[in-house]
């Protein structure tokens, strides 16, 4: 393990995080809020430590897999720890465990909150709370790669570990250029949504913070009733559309820009993603219309929004879907596991894994009839290696195992099965609201401190695709042999 390069890059990360707190400080100063001192102290502490760590001498070696794992895992933990300082120092969330939970939820774009009266928080804190979604959506370290030239060719190890999905790859040969392309797309989507929300009559501040939660698929709102506080079909539809667009693999937007339309529309993961959304919206709309709404237009609108919110793991709400019929809630619960596409800001298992698992099951059925047949698994016309297929199957098994284990652990607090299972599914899938005790009009404040830390761990596990965090517990990771 090259500890020098790990410490140096983590220092760079903290320096970048300190800079990213400045917009929230400016918001606090503009509105003359009491949290400005907390931001000044947080920026000072984070930048000084980042500067000291960034001066660490490192050996002239490329970043290998070990270093990539350590940098990404500890980078997210450190960013969450120092990102919680404004909450604690301002007194907005006095408990460090609660502040850490809220910050992890922000950076991992989960959107689960422990704040019972969100509208009482100062505007700078609310801005930072939502801005963590935007920072974490594309990846804290991907952003660092995009703006710092110090990572070199080894930066791909970081990019590979932090990027969501089983098969991360460069859009262009250089990792730094790939990161810049991704963030350019991210910026464009952000600006476009803010403009469209302004056209809908939403104030600039509200439009910005809700856009951060939308394109980052996070879900923190500045309203207790979430997006439902805005009684506007236009606003609901705009946010719904951008949630779904943010669940698409961002590299496909680059291909669209290059004019590779055929390659995009033939993408199997994208077609599965839209197919699941369309089917779920129709089924839920018909169900809630027959039992509750009696207005197919409103039923379609709310079904579209909530399906988009859950499958992209954003977590915004326009209605209390916990009061919907069991059939509709069952579909939403299943969508918590599906998630967005690989290479998007969405969480969950990812559609590409679901697609490969379906093909794997189909192949096993075919082998019953043709035992000697060699049937490769293909996606988008390319044959997947057995290593990739095994990796996807292993990820699925581990994901379900952690979900079951987590549900049992959380239920020890006396929480009912629906609430405990949806809380764990929400944390692991980076979704936000669940059902029952953690429904869309409830918060996670009722959990004890241990469960809040456990759920924080699950949020990190989900965002970093399980293995990155779990690998830290392997002694082999810290030895000097090749990982």
Instruction: Convert the pLDDT of each residue in 36-50 to its tens digit.
Output: 999 999 999 999 999
> Residue ranges per domain, the chain?
1-162, 172-396
Answer whether residue 251 shows pLDDT above 80: yes
**Residue 430 assigned as binding residue:** yes
pLDDT-derived band at 274 (thresholds 50, 70, 90) equals very high
Could you tell me if 118 and 213 are in contact, meaning their C-beta atoms sit under 8 angstroms apart? no
Nearest to 329 by CA among 257, 371, 280: 280
Instruction: Tell whether the torsion through CA atoms of 359, 308, 426 and 96 is positive or negative.
Output: positive
Return d(Cα 5, Cα 154) in angstroms, integer. 11
**Residue 109 assigned as binding residue:** yes
Question: Is the model's pTM score more than 0.85?
Answer: yes
**Residue 218 assigned as binding residue:** yes
Q: What is the pLDDT of residue 303?
A: 96
- Cβ-Cβ contacts under 8 Å for 73 (sequence gap 6 or more): 464, 468, 469, 471, 472
Answer whether residue 146 shows pLDDT above 70: no
Answer whether residue 191 shows pLDDT above 90: yes
**Residue 314 assigned as binding residue:** yes
Could you tell me if 234 and 151 are in contact, meaning their C-beta atoms sit under 8 angstroms apart? no
């Amino acid at each position: 393990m090259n500890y020098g390069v790990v410490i140096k890059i983590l220092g760079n990360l903290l320096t970048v995080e300190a800079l990213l707190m400045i917009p929230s400080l400016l918001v606090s100063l503009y509105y003359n809020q009491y949290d400005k001192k907390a931001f000044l102290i947080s920026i000072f502490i984070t930048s000084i430590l980042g500067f000291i760590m960034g001066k660490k001498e490192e050996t002239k070696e490329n970043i290998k897999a070990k270093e990539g794992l350590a940098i990404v895992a500890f980078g997210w933990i450190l960013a969450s720890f120092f990102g919680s300082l404004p909450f604690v120092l301002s007194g907005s969330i006095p408990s460090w465990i609660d502040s850490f939970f809220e910050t992890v939820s922000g950076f991992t774009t989960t959107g689960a909150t422990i704040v019972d009266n969100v509208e009482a928080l100062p505007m700078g804190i609310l801005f930072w709370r939502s801005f963590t979604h935007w920072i974490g959506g594309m990846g804290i370290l991907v952003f660092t790669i995009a703006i710092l030239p110090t990572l070199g060719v080894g930066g791909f190890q970081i990019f590979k570990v932090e990027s969501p999905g089983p098969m991360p790859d460069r859009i262009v040969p250089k990792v730094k250029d790939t990161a810049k392309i991704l963030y350019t797309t991210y910026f464009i989507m952000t600006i476009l949504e803010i403009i469209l929300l302004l056209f809908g009559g939403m104030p600039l501040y509200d439009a910005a913070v809700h856009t951060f939660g939308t394109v980052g698929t996070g879900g923190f709102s500045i309203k207790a009733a979430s997006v439902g506080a805005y009684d506007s079909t236009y606003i609901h539809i705009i946010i719904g559309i951008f949630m779904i667009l943010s669940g698409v693999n961002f590299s496909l937007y680059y291909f669209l820009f290059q004019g590779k339309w055929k390659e995009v529309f033939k993408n199997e993961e994208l077609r599965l993603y839209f197919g699941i959304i369309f089917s779920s919206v129709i089924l839920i709309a018909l169900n809630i219309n027959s039992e509750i709404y009696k207005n197919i237009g409103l039923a379609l609108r709310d079904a579209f929004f909530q399906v988009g919110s859950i499958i992209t793991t954003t977590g915004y709400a326009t209605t209390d879907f916990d009061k919907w019929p069991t059939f509709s809630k069952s579909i939403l619960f299943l969508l918590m596991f599906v998630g967005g596409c690989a290479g998007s800001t969405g969480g969950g298992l990812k559609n590409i894994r679901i697609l490969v698992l379906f093909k794997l099951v189909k192949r096993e059925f075919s082998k019953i009839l043709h035992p000697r047949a060699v049937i490769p698994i293909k996606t988008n016309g390319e044959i997947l290696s057995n290593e990739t297929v095994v990796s996807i199957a292993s990820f699925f098994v581990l994901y379900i195992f952690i979900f079951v284990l987590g549900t049992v652990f959380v239920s020890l607090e006396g929480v009912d099965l629906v609430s405990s299972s949806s809380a764990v599914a929400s944390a692991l899938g980076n979704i936000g609201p669940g059902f029952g005790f953690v429904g869309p009009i409830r918060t996670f404040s009722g959990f004890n401190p241990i469960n809040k830390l456990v759920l924080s761990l699950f949020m990190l596990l989900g965002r970093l695709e399980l293995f990155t965090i779990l690998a830290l517990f392997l002694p082999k990771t810290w030895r000097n042999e090749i990982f």
